[in-house]
Amino acid sequence: LDAVVECMEYHPGPRQLGYINLRGEALPLLHLRDVLGGGDAAQASPLRRNVVVVQAAGQRAGLVVDALLGEYQTVIKPLGALFAHLQGISGSTILGNGDVALILDVTALLSRVTRQASAAPSAAIAA
């Protein structure tokens, strides 16, 4: 959870191609809906979206999320063998209201951003 740098509102513009300008820094974006299979991010219709800026292993990126729920004190449990194959998830926790929340593996998600960014120029050259 130390990977979270800041949270901010996100208003996607028509010309944004996977990056936002964060105080002069080009910050790559990763839509969690796309990564976790929650449906097409382009079809999500909240009036306000949010970006959680994360940092790990010297890399920074913005995770586009539908909502921010708050900050919680948690005890993180490892995933069982049944869910160990899930990429981008490092564990789980039970919230105070009894809901189960999954804990993101920020390092794995940032590695994915790096792979996508390096594959994009290759795809453009091939086309």
Place of tokens 């490092």: 90
For residues 46 and 13, which has the higher predicted lDDT (pLDDT)? Answer: 13
Q: CB count, 10 Å around CB of 74?
A: 15
pLDDT at 125: 44
Q: Name the band, by pLDDT with cuts 50, 70 and 90, for residue 15.
A: low
pLDDT at 16: 62
For residues 90 and 41, which has the higher predicted lDDT (pLDDT)? Answer: 90
Q: Is the pTM of this model over 0.95?
A: no
Would you kindly state where each structural domain of the chain is located, as residue ranges? 4-126
Q: CB count, 10 Å around CB of 61?
A: 22
Phi, psi values for residue 81, rounded to 5°: -60, -30
The arrangement of secondary structure in 4-126, i.e. its CATH architecture, is Beta Barrel (2.40)
Give the tokens for residue 35.
Answer: 């990564």
For residues 61 and 80, which has the higher predicted lDDT (pLDDT)? Answer: 61
Q: List Cα–Cα distances, 42 to 10, 35, 85, 102, in angstroms.
A: 13, 13, 27, 23
